Structure 1
Amino acid sequence: MSEAARSRRARHSGLAGRRGEWLAVLYLSAKGYRLLERRFGGKGGEIDLIMTRGNSIAFVEVKRRAALDEAAGAITADKRRLIEARIRQWLARNPWAMQRHLRADAVFLAPWRLPRHVPAVFELTL
């Protein structure tokens, strides 16, 4: 694959990811969640969305695939470790949040399907 083709593919993938994140924000907002932060982190991993509702803070991973089951399978053990590392980093900058109920959620997206929100998709080991 040429450098130009890789670059086009990366741009398309990034754009699709941002669209998916905004769709997840809209979906969760309709369920009463409020956005605290988007794309926290950076090189080495990021938390897609940080949302709050009531006394809970949800660190949300958004996965978009051709089918919802494929999206669900995309949160691997390595991905979980990266997410937890970023959560610890975010909590160090936001110590007030330690008084809240913390969980790792996911929103799975697939074309022509309603989003699937999975609260506490995996247990946090902070």
Structure 2
Amino acid sequence: MRAPATRRRAERTGRVAEEEAARWLERQGWSILARRRRTPLGEIDLIARRGPLVAFVEVKYRASAAGLAEAIDEYRLRRVAAAAEAVAHDYLRPGDDMRVDVILLAPDTAPTHIVNAWQP
């Protein structure tokens, strides 16, 4: 288990990364519908809409670009997908599509947007 100071620092870093990802998505034409949406099945970092598409977004930050390759795995994606299914009714309108995306962030590196990262 992480020490309290380490955990607080990681929490702060995560919030900053989520804010950066939200601003990046907004520049791409997305509207942010929710941040840090908690569900009984897990937390969704960002929920965003662009037209008839709602994306449930997992944000991952690493201290170096080299660490981004291992930042996301099937287990985490499955949890985000399950959480998205649990709350989709709160965000989807008739005719909308939904997907799970990932945004990877590291210093001095452009954001990497993995579109439709979860395909069961």
CA contact (8 A) 1:91 1:97 kept: no
CA distance in 1, matches of 2:18, 2:76: 17
Over aligned residue pairs, what C-alpha RMSD do you find?
A: 2.1
- Partners of 1:61 and 1:26 in 2: how far apart? 14
CA distance in 2, matches of 1:79, 1:118: 14
Q: Matched residues in 1 for 2:24 and 2:74: separation? A: 26
Structure 2 letter corresponding to 1:26: R
Deviation, 1:97, is 3.7
How far residue 66 of structure 1 moved from its aligned partner, in angstroms, is 2.5
Match of 1:39 among 24, 32, 36: 36
Change (3 A) 1:32 1:72: farther
In 2, distance between residues paired with 1:109 and 1:30?
16
TM-score, normalised with respect to structure 2 = 0.87
User: In structure 2, how many angstroms separate the alpha carbons of the residues matched to 1:20 and 1:84?
Assistant: 20
Contact 1:63 1:72 in 2 (8 A): no
1:15 partnered with 2:29 = no
- Name the residue aligned to 2:86: 89
Bigger CA radius of gyration: 1
Cα distance in 2 between the residues matched to 1:111 and 1:87? 28
- Name which of structure 1's ranges 31-40 and 111-120 shifts more when overlaid on structure 2: 111-120
> Which ranges of structure 1 fall in alignment gaps of 5 or more residues?
none
1:101 deviation in Å? Answer: 1.2
Q: Which runs of 5+ in 2 are unaligned?
A: none
Task: Identify which of 101, 108, 114 aligns with 2:104.
Answer: 108
The structure richer in helix per residue is: 1
Counterparts of residues 49-64 of structure 1 (less than 5 Å): 49-64=46-61
| Paired AA for residue 103 in structure 1 | R
State percent identity of aligned pairs: 32
Moved more, 13-22 or 105-114: 105-114
Deviation, 1:71, is: 2.5
Match of 1:118 in 2: 114
Deviation track 1:59-109 (CA, whole Å, cap 9, x = no partner) reads 1110001233523422212112211221111124x2744631111111110
